């Protein structure tokens, strides 16, 4: 495999202004992909795109609130218009607010559902036709859709009821989509990280466990591993735990 196995491919990464999304965008550029950085914070995206361009990569900033369906569709259209195709979608935009039902606000629950579920659905629905076309026309003869989920989509703990709801839903949605898109040569994968040291985590009253947390680049490396496999290999799910994580 060459040093740039994604040469000629185009990826769209959501949540790309920080954390796992930013690390993933940087990792895919190093693998040779052109990347559309999508998030709400346009100033952060411009800075990251500038960094990547300076390093010899190709990245564009696409500021969009994906909780709005029209803006999600426009983000995909902008990516296709400016970069010419769409081979890889990485859904990493997410927020986690942990607290008990007694102490949570309905606004926090709505925030998680809007970003973790609705935004993912909007961008995925917009991107699927382009991914199918890319699989049919690229030299790789395959396209990839990677959803960054969580071990909270497999393991339930107190104070995470609505976050669990969003991540269990993501896992179920992804598996159904995987089966639907098999015949179109679009691979659908889920990454289930454990404890990650990044900004999407708002622990409220919850104490941090004493362990060395994963870093965003650990998950980015996992994304890159998935999307650079030969087309005969489809990795449907990977769990990535911190070394000291017990659950």
Q: Which residues are catalytic, by number?
A: 163
Q: Which of 231, 226, 29, 233 is nearest to 140 (CA)?
A: 231
Burial degree of 88 (CB within 10 A; 0-12, 13-18, 19+): buried
Q: Are 113 and 162 in contact (CB under 8 A)?
A: yes
Query: What b/e readout covers 102-118, taking b as 16+ CB neighbours within 10 angstroms?
Result: eebeeebbebbbbbbbb
| DSSP bridge partners of 89 | 12, 145
Give the CA distances from residue 14 to residues 35, 160, 161, in Å, rounded to whole numbers and listed in that order.
10, 23, 24
163 vs 190: CA distance, rounded Å: 16
1-19 burial code (b ≥16 CB/10 A, e <16): eeeebbeebbbbbbbbbbb
Q: Give the list of residues 6+ apart from residue 86 with CB closer than 8 angstroms, or none.
A: 10, 11, 12, 76, 79, 80, 127, 130, 131, 134, 143
CB atoms within 10 A of CB 141: 12
């Amino acid at each position: 495999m060459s040093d740039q196995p994604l040469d000629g491919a185009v990826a769209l990464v959501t949540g790309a202004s920080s954390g796992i999304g930013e690390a993933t965008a940087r990792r895919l550029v190093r693998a040779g992909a052109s990347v559309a950085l999508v998030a709400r914070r346009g100033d952060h995206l411009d800075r990251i795109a500038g960094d990547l361009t300076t390093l010899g990569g190709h990245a564009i900033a696409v500021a969009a609130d994906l909780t709005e369906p029209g803006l999600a569709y426009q983000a995909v259209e902008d990516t296709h218009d400016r970069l010419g195709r769409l081979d890889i979608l990485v859904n990493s935009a997410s927020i986690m607010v942990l607290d008990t039902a007694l102490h949570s606000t309905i606004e926090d629950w709505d925030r998680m559902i809007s970003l973790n579920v609705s935004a993912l659905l909007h961008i995925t629905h917009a991107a699927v036709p382009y991914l199918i076309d890319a699989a049919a026309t690229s030299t790789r003869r395959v396209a990839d859709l990677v959803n960054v989920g969580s071990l909270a989509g497999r393991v339930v703990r107190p104070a995470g009821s609505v976050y669990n709801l969003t991540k269990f839903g993501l896992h179920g949605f992804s598996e159904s989509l995987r089966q639907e898109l098999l015949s179109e040569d679009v691979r659908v994968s889920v990454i289930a990280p454990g404890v990650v040291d990044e900004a999407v985590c708002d622990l409220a009253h919850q104490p941090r466990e004493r362990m060395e947390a994963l870093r965003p680049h650990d998950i980015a490396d996992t994304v890159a591993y998935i999307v650079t496999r030969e087309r005969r290999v489809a990795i449907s799910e990977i769990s990535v735990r911190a070394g000291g994580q017990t659950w």
